[in-house]
Structure 1
Amino acid sequence: MSCVTKILAVLDADKQQQKAMNRALHLARISGAQLTFMLSIYDFSYEMTTMLAADERNVMRDSLISDRQAWIKDLLEDYNTRDINYDVQVLWHNRPFEAIIETAIEGNYDIIVKATHQQDGLAALLFTPTDWHLLRKAPCQVLLVKEHEWPEHGKILAGIHTTGEHQHHRSLNTCITEAALKFANCLHSEVHLVNAYPGAPITIAAEIPEFDTSSYAETIADNHKIALAEHAMPFHIPAEHQHVREGLPEQVIPALAEELDAELVVLGTIGRTGFSAALLGNTAEHVISNINCDLLALKPEGFVSPIKL
């Protein structure tokens, strides 16, 4: 079974090295998927040129779009595109993430592939760049690309939340594992599952001296191991590929990904919006800042993007 059938690869307007182009071509080659390279461009000065009539502004805008289409085709000359079904789209839009999501919805794409870049300092904490908007609002899978290669017989790490009692948690766990297995099949890789669990609250140990923190931790760990094994059983994922570790997911997952030298981490993302999302983000957003491999983010089943056509 193919991991994807339609790929939307988002290019960087100001970079010669296109990580998303390279990864999307690799993915299209191994899956046989249809591939679209898209670029969203906008120049506010063109819209504010009052000396020109609307028709003249449109001509200038169309000229810029044509130049960018030619630039993308020049970039593609450095790649092997034989037997790959692809097209190129350049859109004029002042909000790139909306252009990407609208294109993904209209074209019914399975996955958005985009290079990600480290955001440093306060800007990463308070402001939401295109990557974060896609994690929260894209209607399909989002593959954020870093530098790590995709070797055959590599490792794919799927983050599972086993303590959720609600059906949507179980459904998302299933989607995450199935996606990891499909990619593993395409990449000839092996799937590992990871589940992070919290340690004993320090306040309990301080307030109740007789509280046995080590026994508590062992019980919690055993419960998580049992739950993860039950989840893994129908997918035939062996016990040695099931990892249960104490700590926060955003700490445990990057540490294990580095230990395994994983090529891909697969996570669910809840699509949080509003000020709390801008300030806090969610697990997928914290993890992407701390891993050196690609991240595949999935939405819960039935998720509807807030971006409308």
Structure 2
Amino acid sequence: MVKFRNILVVIDPTREEQAALSRAAYICQKEENAKLKLFLSVYDFSFEMTTMLSLEEREAMRSSVIAQQTAWLDELAAPYRNQGLLIDTKVIWHNRPFESIIQETLDYGHDLVVKGTHHHPKLQAVIFTPTDWHLLRKCPEPLLLVKSQDWPEKGTILAAINATAEDDEHLALNDKITHEALDLAKMINAQVSLVNAYPSTPMTIALELPDFNPVEYSDAIKERHQQMLREHGEKHGIPLERQHVIEGLAEDVIPQVAQELNAELVVLGTVGRTGLSAALIGNTAEHLIDSLNCDLLALKPHDYVSPLSQ
């Protein structure tokens, strides 16, 4: 069973409610010998650009800000420390939060990153890529993006699977997603359901081939996805009634099924696409952030190496 023993909790200084801390503390209470680190990356551009202050004065101001924020993190940690949880705090001065989060994960062996998330305005998301998106692409460890709802007892964890994957990397990632979902379900007394989206029939084929039967084609595609998901479900002991094969795009199907099942968590894989392909294509996980009303746990393939570690 997967154990999260060294959890990095990303604190949001702009929000009063720290959903990530609440969720991480809940997980920590379920684990043995687990510890949390409350992490905050701060930066003030004006401190760096002013010519009125000497280097020593700027360093003193940075140190003052870090000390103030560290005291605030200790206040946040106090109620949980009183419950017996092991909690460290750390504030660093860095102008790219996602880089500082990933570097902290790499340097100190954190096995789970927990961060609160909320709606990203579409225009802003296009022009200024949110920290969440960067973490989905580049964070090497499991990333739990938390919304504000609870994890009820006997709830549902939805594992999103690419059932017809044939390459070893995606097959291994399917197994990893399902194992993580089952381990978490055991930890929090939930059940696991599987979801797999399959593509609609391309209209261009029907137009180009007069004898083409789109209904038969669609039925054949659906049957293949059902068969492959059934085999995956049998492998992991997930019954047929908790397997969902739905036509459509994954970024539409997964939130739909999650809402129908009132899932508390969706677990999926993200391949960490970066550069131009990420800008043009994106990852399913990125499109899901705003659509899901529940938490999202994003996993990388076993051999994934973050570009920040290279």
TM range (shorter): over 0.9
Aligned residues between the structures: 309
Q: How does 1:244-255 map to 2 (within 5 A)?
A: 244-255=245-256
Does structure 1 residue 211 correspond to structure 2 residue 216? no
In structure 2, the partner of 1:112 is 113
CA contact (8 A) 1:9 1:24 kept: yes
The amino acid of 2:30's aligned partner reads I
Worse-matched range after superposition: 52-61 or 216-225: 52-61
Distance 1:157 1:3, change over 3 A: farther
Alignment of 1:152-231 (within 5 A): 152-231=153-232
RMSD: 1.6
- Larger deviation, residues 36-45 vs 125-134: 125-134
Within a 5 Å distance, the mapping from 1:1-309 to structure 2 comes to: 1-32=1-32, 33-77=34-78, 79=80, 81-308=82-309
Kept in 1: contact 2:2–2:180 (CA 8 A): no
1:221–1:244 CA contact under 8 A, matched in 2: yes
Cα distance in 1 for partners of 2:43, 2:298 equals 27
Equivalent pair of 1:141/1:296 in contact (CA under 8 Å):
yes
Whether the aligned pair in 2 keeps the contact of 1:125 and 1:279 (CA below 8 Å) is no
CA distance in 1, matches of 2:12, 2:121: 19
| Equivalent residues of 1:126, 1:279 under 8 A apart | no
Do the aligned partners of 1:3 and 1:186 also contact (CA within 8 Å) in 2?
A: no
Amino acid in structure 1 at the alignment position of 2:298 = A
> Which segment is superposed worse, 166-175 or 194-203?
194-203
Change (3 A) 1:156 1:259: same
Structure 2 unpaired stretches of 5+: none
Name the CA distance, whole Å, in 2 between partners of 1:280 and 1:120: 19
Question: What amino acid sits opposite 1:224 in the alignment?
Answer: H
How far residue 77 of structure 1 moved from its aligned partner, in angstroms, is 4.1
Partners of 2:60 and 2:81 in 1: CA distance: 33
Secondary structure, counterpart of 2:306 in structure 1: coil
Shift of 1:95: 0.7
Q: Which digits, 9 at most, give the CA deviation of each residue in 1:210-230, with x for residues without a partner?
A: 322222111111111111111
Work out the CA distance in 1 between the residues paired with 2:281 and 2:78: 41
Q: So what's the TM-score if we normalise by structure 1? A: 0.95
> Counterpart of 1:41 in structure 2: which amino acid?
V
SS at match of 1:109: coil
Q: Any stretches of 5+ residues in structure 1 without a counterpart?
A: none
Residue identity opposite 2:248 in structure 1? G
Distance 2:305 2:77 in 1: 33
Q: Distance in 2 between matches of 1:2 and 1:203?
A: 46
The farther-off stretch of 68-77 and 176-185 is 68-77
Greater displacement, 34-43 / 194-203: 194-203
Aligned residue identity for 2:17: Q
| Equivalent residue letter for 1:15 | R
Inter-partner Cα distance in structure 2 for 1:205 and 1:308: 48
C-alpha distance 81-101 of structure 1, shift in aligned 2 (>3 A): farther
